[in-house]
Chains A and B, each alone.
Chain A
Amino acid sequence: MTTTFDTTTLTVTIDGRRIAARTGQTVLEVCRENSIHIPTLCYDPRLKPYGGCRLCIVEIEGLRGYPTSCTTTVADGMVVTTESEALFELRRSVIELLLSDHKVDCLTCQSSGQCGLQDTAYEHAVEMPRFSGELHVEFIESENPLIARDLTKCIMCGRCVRICAEVEGRYVYGFTDRGFDSLPNTPYGVPLHDAYCEFCGQCVSTCPTGALSNKLGKFKGRIWEVEHTETTCGYCGVGCTLDVSTKNGKVIDVTAPLERGVNGGNLCAKGRYGWGYTHSPDRLTTPLVRRDGELVEVTWDEAIAEIAERLTAIRDEHGPESIGGLASAKCTNEENYLFQKVLRAGIGTHNIDHCARL
């Protein structure tokens, strides 16, 4: 969530450091800006503060108990402690509780190495959780080709529910049941494709565990094996920043970095999942010209010469109004400018449209 801040600056003291903050910022935001680490699981900067996982608790002078830093806004003169024995013990217990209700499946879990639960457990030196007991309801959905849901690994952070509602406005998920059995689920637990899901995968992007994962990349590569290439999505003019994961020269997953780009971690269904064409055997990799009813591979120079020749002939015979051009929202502004120039100045027609309805 981007928040518009008051420009008023305040001074807060965090772990003994005096730090300038802006009105409206949360304690967690101020800490992050100043490289003070606080563990979190239900926090995602794209979403409204929630306060569910309880890992980000801190001590604040004058406030009772252990307020959550992700939900508490700073006040001038606030004195915050982010690390103490009591905090460490409470956070550690919370992690142990989560693990006591978790299918600990790190061996082959797609999220291993990029899992919030794994990281916080490691950080708090949890070897064997002290608590154990029944696991919450087993729920696995994999009827669709894109999103795998294994809610046995769900920690109920609510991020999927919230991103679908707050960012996508889609409300595919809600919480079902109460207490230990509560789950982020579709109405009546129907499969995603029956719940008006548009498969943008935003829920997967925010899930801190392996409860939601991208099927396309599953078992294709571990996070530490892949190469990351940052690039811009070619699907439309928004130009979202992509992080393309490749292994052995093959794309296995596409994600978006939270901290960079116009999209700030968000992607649509095409940007996230529409990369199947890259390695498709049907993909056109050189221009083709039909000669005697057969498509024949040619060079770009040959192809462009052919187009110029044929368009000129048509214009001369039928007039410029007989020609129209369809540009693409996948092109940049500059490319579209040049395209209309070819049609207007080169051919002499205003018949230009585009396909910004991807």
Chain B
Amino acid sequence: MTTPPEETVIAPPALVEIRVCTGTGCIANGSLVVADRLESAIAQAGASDRMRVTRTGCHGLCAQGPVVVTAPEGVFYPGVDPDHAEAVVRALLDGSGPVTEMLYRETPEEEPIARYADIPFNARQHRIVLRNCGVIDPEDIDQALRAGGYSGLRHALTDLTSDGLIEEIKASGLRGRGGAGFLTGMKWELARQSVGDQKYMICNADEGDPGAFMDRSVLEGDPHSVLEGMAIAAYAIGASEGFVYCRAEYPLAVRRLKKAIADAAAHGLLGDNIMDTEFSFHVGVREGAGAFVCGEETALIASVEGDRGMPRPRPPFPTTSGLWAKPTCINNVETLANVAWVVAHGAKALAAIGADDSKGTKVFALTGKIRHSGLVEVPLGLTIHEVIDEVGGGCQGARPTKAVQIGGPSGGCIPAHLFDTKIQYDTLLAAGAMMGSGGMVVVDDTTCMVDLARYFLTFTQDESCGKCVPCRVGTKRMLEIITRITEGKGRDGDIEELERLADVAKKASLCGLGQGAPNPVLTTLRYFRDEYEEHIHERRCRAAACAALSTYVIDADICKGCGVCKKHCPVSAISGQIKELHEIDPDICVKCGVCETRCPFDAISRM
């Protein structure tokens, strides 16, 4: 099914390709310079006819940028220095094999691993959504077409009716990847059945969860897969117009998307009479100003209409009355990237991956105290442990993993002893978290769970639109209580009051932001209640993370009395004679941590 559209003439591929990641992360690490240097090295070697540099989207292993992978061999060079460009080109030309010193090693002691596909990070991954990310040049529609782009749309338009298409998506079991996990086929059916002279298809690319960058990476690395998914959805529901709502803080994604729309239109893949059929579909981009709540579908609609992004109650659901009161289907970027693949490969292909109620894969943004932070796509149904330890390489540093925060600000914290929990919609919910958009923040025992909950609550309170009372005032009161707990001023009854407020916000808030805001507090209370109690009753933070509840202590057995700490303390909290034990006055200390980093003997620690 993945044959490219016949009419399109596609330039032949170069014999050897050097794929340089130009996702936002790698660009920040200097990958554009690396790409330029590789190109000049190729030109200098007179190899431009055989060799080409492809500026691709994200490869996943963002922490190791700039990432360079050669094709067809698939040799992986992490953290490439522009000065090594020539060496890479030379090795490819003289057939001497990979440049060993530049290869990836799991740890400095281990043997290098040459191929990107062979590194442990990739072993459990299954790339459907990210199939072309890191492989094709997202700004070159020919490469997208060669990789099978728009073949799903062709199949839909030529072989399937709208109803047949909806059945296919239903049969695949695909659920929305934007948070709530609504069955995509069912949503399309509702939109299709709604009566309206005009319908709209919207792609939700707002992606506001802190730490999440799945959707950005797909838009930057393979925008055509999303446009194709949109066109397929539009055909299914009967929409002739669509919008991608993307935050303006994603300038690269917006630029690549706009180029992709123009290129697709030029190839007759968007616009009027797509692929010479009756079907017409026009797509525009709407840039949002970066409010988290604008990811909520009704707020998104208000924003596209030009109003302040504030949610409105549902029903009516957008599928009945959405943009400009017309039936509107809103799907997430990742959902739509799946759609094109499902149509091209058949419902069964997706249904074969995953487990129970959770079919297919999910992209996660792995961050926090994890060795391989980056973007991973794994089949649903893996356990948390498999993702964190096998894909992510386990905790960063020697400290034990304590918990993982899944699902962003509306998600929850799952403790390490529950890492056998399978990553599925229902199991995560039962554990108090949720799939959310796919943020996974790993924390070790230096993170205070009360403080972590406070962090997420600060975010949701800041991002509340202010419309409804339980969210606007309720989460504020919760934040005040949790803040005083972390400051060592917690009172008897604070936990119960947190629970009461959480209950009101959950039950009475208008939208998912307020309803989900208490989750980080509720899950940390569920699994780490003793930490809250220690803060309140013992004025103690076991992670030594809360400034008011921790002190810096000099170990008498290690201190040599060198005086370095005393010299650097900005508030003169340290006293002691040279060659004698130094001491920190906790009443003066502001817990800046300078002494700890300065002590040449590691004699100072926070506790």
Q: Which residues of A pack against B, CB within 8 Å? A: 49-54, 57, 65-68, 71-73, 90, 93-94, 97-98, 100-101, 130-131, 133-134, 155-156, 158, 174-175, 177-182
Contacts and interface: CB of A to CB of B under 8 A. Distances in A.
B508 A182 contact: no
A97 B501 CA distance: 9
Contacts of A49: 313
Most chain-B CB neighbours within 10 Å: which of A50, A97, A155, A175?
A: A97
Interface of B: 291, 308, 310, 312-313, 315, 461-470, 472-477, 480, 497, 500-501, 504, 507-510
B462 A67 contact: no
A100 B510 contact: no
A260 to B, nearest CB: 30
A52 B510 contact: yes
A180 B461 CA distance: 7
Given A93-B508, A178-B464, A133 B472 contact: no
Given A100-B473, A101-B473, A179 B504 contact: no
A131 B501 contact: yes
A155 B469 CA distance: 8
B223 to A, nearest CB: 30
A204 to B, nearest CB: 21
Most chain-A CB neighbours within 10 Å: which of B470, B504, B508?
A: B508
A177 B462 CA distance: 9
Contacts of B468: 51-54
A137 to B, nearest CB: 12
Contacts of B504: 90, 93-94, 97
30 contacts: A50-B312, A51-B510, A54-B508, A54-B509, A57-B508, A67-B313, A71-B312, A93-B474, A93-B500, A94-B508, A97-B474, A97-B477, A98-B469, A130-B497, A130-B500, A131-B497, A134-B476, A156-B469, A175-B466, A178-B464, A179-B461, A179-B462, A179-B464, A179-B465, A179-B466, A179-B472, A179-B475, A180-B464, A180-B472, A181-B466
A341 to B, nearest CB: 51
B297 to A, nearest CB: 15
The 3 closest A-B pairs by CB, nearest first: A182-B466, A51-B313, A179-B464
Nearest to B466: A182
A163 B466 CA distance: 18
A98 B473 contact: yes
Contacts of A54: 468-470, 508-510
Contact of A72 (B313, B461, B465): B313
A182 B473 CA distance: 11
Given A53-B468, A181-B466, 10 more contacts: A66-B507, A90-B508, A93-B470, A131-B477, A131-B497, A131-B501, A134-B476, A179-B475, A179-B476, A182-B472
Contacts of A177: 466
Contacts of B315: 72-73
A101 B465 CA distance: 17
Contacts of A66: 507-508
Most chain-B CB neighbours within 10 Å: which of A53, A131, A134?
A: A131
Nearest to A65: B507
Most chain-A CB neighbours within 10 Å: which of B465, B467, B469, B480?
A: B469
Given A51-B510, A52-B510, A66-B507, A97 B461 contact: no
Contacts of A93: 470, 474, 500-501, 504, 508
Contacts of A100: 473, 477
Contact of B312 (A51, A73, A97, A133): A51
B477 A178 contact: no
A242 to B, nearest CB: 33
A228 B465 CA distance: 40
Most chain-B CB neighbours within 10 Å: which of A50, A52, A177, A182?
A: A52
A108 B467 CA distance: 28
Contacts, number: 103
A297 to B, nearest CB: 59
State the main secondary structure of chain B at its contact with A: helix
A149 B508 CA distance: 29
Contacts of B463: 178-179
B316 to A, nearest CB: 8
Contact of B473 (A50, A72, A97, A175): A97
A134 B480 contact: yes
Most chain-A CB neighbours within 10 Å: which of B313, B315, B470?
A: B313
A181 B473 CA distance: 10
Contacts of B472: 156, 179-180, 182
Contacts of B465: 178-179, 182
Nearest to A75: B315
B469 A133 contact: no
B313 A94 contact: no
A133 B477 contact: yes
B421 to A, nearest CB: 25
A68 B469 contact: no
B480 A133 contact: yes
A53 B468 CA distance: 5
A57 B515 CA distance: 15
Contacts of B308: 174-175
A131 to B, nearest CB: 5
B469 A53 contact: yes
A99 to B, nearest CB: 10
Contacts of B461: 179-180
A90 B462 CA distance: 23
Nearest to A49: B313
A26 to B, nearest CB: 11
B476 A180 contact: yes
Contacts of A178: 291, 462-466
A130 B496 CA distance: 12
A76 B529 CA distance: 47
A291 B510 CA distance: 73
A238 B472 CA distance: 41
A4 B500 CA distance: 42
Contacts of B462: 178-179
A29 B14 CA distance: 69
Contacts of A94: 469-470, 504, 508
Given A52-B467, A54-B468, A90-B507, A180 B473 contact: yes
A51 to B, nearest CB: 4
A97 to B, nearest CB: 4
Nearest to A184: B466
A57 B469 CA distance: 13
A93 B509 CA distance: 12
A134 B472 CA distance: 13
B508 A158 contact: no
Most chain-A CB neighbours within 10 Å: which of B310, B315, B465, B472?
A: B472
B86 to A, nearest CB: 51
A310 B591 CA distance: 96
Nearest to A93: B504
A72 B466 CA distance: 21
Contacts of A174: 308
B459 to A, nearest CB: 10
A130 B503 CA distance: 14
Contacts of A130: 497, 500
A67 to B, nearest CB: 7
A158 B467 contact: yes
B210 to A, nearest CB: 15
A133 B508 CA distance: 20
Contacts of A133: 476-477, 480
Nearest to A90: B508
A144 B114 CA distance: 76
A97 B313 contact: no
A115 B461 CA distance: 28
Contact of B313 (A68, A90, A181, A182): A68
A131 B476 CA distance: 11
Contacts of B470: 54, 93-94, 97
A244 B474 CA distance: 40
Contacts of A51: 312-313, 468, 510
A254 B472 CA distance: 34
B593 to A, nearest CB: 29
